[in-house]
Amino acid sequence: MPPSSLVWAKGAGGTGNDYGRGIAALIDGSAIVTGSFRGIATFGAGEGNETFLSSVGMDDIFIARYNPDGTLAWAKSTGGGSGDGGKGISALSDGSAIVTGYFVGTVTFGNASEGNETVLSSAGVADIFIAKYNPDGTLAWAKRSGGGSPDVGYAISAIPDGSALLTGLFQGTATFGAGDGNETVLFTEAGDYNIFIAKYNPNGTLAWAKSAGGASGNDYGYGISALPDGSAIVTGSFADSATFGNASEGGNEKVLTSAGGGDIFIAKYNPNGTLAWVKSTGSVNRDEGLGISVLSDGSAIVTGYYQSNVTFGASEGNETVLTSAGMLDIFIAKYNPDGTLAWAKSAGGGNWDEGHGISTLPDGSALVTGYFRWSATFGNASEGNETVLITPGFEDIFIAKYNPDGTLAWAKRAGGVDYDSGYGISALSDGSAIVTGYFQNTAIFGAGEPNETDLISFGNSDIFIAKFNP
């Protein structure tokens, strides 16, 4: 298959540190992005809808919509006097979007002149927010969850009825759905972080909230992808011993034990929040699942990073041992609907390489983004289409497509001589993909192609949004 080519690339930001974290494509080819910015950030520079956002304090949350041709439709921000950030976003078929992340102190979502302004106040250091925005960027509703310790929403996935499932981390005691009929208080067993998985109804009220983790070591929920029936598959990492599910609720309960500093988990939750199954893999070092995307048959493809030797699907028919080429390598693994392994692949080189975002297509293929340092090998010569990417500097963005059987279709790089990384990716039905992340100084997208674009940051790091053909 010929490699993808660049359609367009856009930058946004200012003189501070600005990051694109999550992205959701819509059926018409437009996309909604979230992340954080500091100071004054310009979106849609030189266009008709050019917008200047100003942070209230340190880092603020942004939500921006881009038209199919890459021009800005609108950009909104919210934040308080401390650090706030958008982490995950998911779109609905009507063009609305639901966002999650974290905020500190008192933050105003929406605008009184637009209606539905909502003021949220954190209970402690940082709280989780979940907010729905209408297609025109006005606020539909905003809710908070958390307690007196740091709590963060990392990923969110909407289902067709307008409800949404999210995951992240909490510490100590965290209240979800305060004042709702299903208000739920989650507790960590000790002082470390635990995972939460929560479902919110279309109007923002809580449906249910569950926790997973253990009494020692930190446990994180980083990625979630929902199926139309309301079930969801989650990935992240856990340390030491972690309990998933609760036998007293009538579901499965399983205790996982990590091999070392932190292991990857993949867990499926039923529509009512009970555990269907959970799997883990890892080495004596730290390994993490960072992104996940489900297919219509209930299978899921996961990405993240691993170190040393890691066994995927241990004792199963497709058991696969991956060996990293250096410090951290990228993994891409597909799991069947019952949690058994379909296949697992590795990519990377002698330095640090991570897969952050993943999006699947109806045919079972997957698009992945993240970063690599120095040089990284994607694919395998014995399978055909092996591709070696080399940075002109230190850290570059990669975008790679994998076929349904796990073989590489193509891999591309973008970036410059400094630090550049992909974080979020969202595929369109035609196989094209829209990606976001950050870049520093000058970054080249689509090098040598007809639409080659050089983006130049306003300051330290800027946001990028780029579209690639199938």
Q: What is the pLDDT of residues 274-296, one digit of tens each?
A: 999 999 999 999 999 999 999 99
Cβ–Cβ under 8 Å, residues 214 and 238: yes
The per-residue pLDDT for 3 is 67
Instruction: State both tokens at 451.
Output: 């639409």
DSSP secondary structure of 343-360? EEEEEB-SSBEEEEEEEE
Give CA separation, 321 vs 283, 316, 345, 349, 405, in Å. 11, 12, 9, 17, 17
Q: Report how far Cα 184 is from the mean position of its chain's Cα atoms.
A: 25
Rounded to whole angstroms, the Cα distance separating 215 from 219 reads 10
Give per-residue pLDDT as tens, 325-360: 989 999 999 999 999 999 999 999 999 999 999 999
The per-residue pLDDT for 57 is 83
Rounded to whole angstroms, the Cα distance separating 108 from 129 reads 11
Whole-number average pLDDT of the chain: 97
CB atoms within 10 A of CB 68: 17
DSSP-assigned letter for residue 262: B
Rounded to whole angstroms, the Cα distance separating 173 from 153 reads 15
Cβ–Cβ under 8 Å, residues 64 and 436: no
Cβ–Cβ under 8 Å, residues 355 and 346: no
Q: What is the CATH number of domain 6-468?
A: 2.130.10.10
Rounded to whole angstroms, the Cα distance separating 306 from 318 reads 19
3-class SS of residue 248: helix
CA nearest to 169, candidates 233, 122, 101: 101
The per-residue pLDDT for 384 is 85
CA nearest to 356, candidates 399, 407, 401: 399
Q: Where are the domains of the chain?
A: 6-468
Name residue 340's amino acid: T
Cβ–Cβ under 8 Å, residues 413 and 446: no
Contact partners, residue 249, CB within 8 Å, separation at least 6:
273, 274
CA nearest to 412, candidates 362, 381, 449, 382: 449
The per-residue pLDDT for 4 is 79
The per-residue pLDDT for 54 is 97
The per-residue pLDDT for 2 is 59
The per-residue pLDDT for 435 is 99
Phi, psi (deg, nearest 5) at residue 241: -115, 135
Give CA separation, 67 vs 10, 27, 49, 119, in Å. 12, 11, 11, 29
Phi, psi (deg, nearest 5) at residue 249: -90, 0
Residues (pLDDT < 50) of the chain are none
CA nearest to 341, candidates 361, 311, 373: 311
Name residue 47's amino acid: E
What pTM did the predictor assign?
A: 0.97
Rounded to whole angstroms, the Cα distance separating 157 from 166 reads 6
* b/e map 373-384, b = 16+ CB within 10 Å: bbbbbbbeeeee
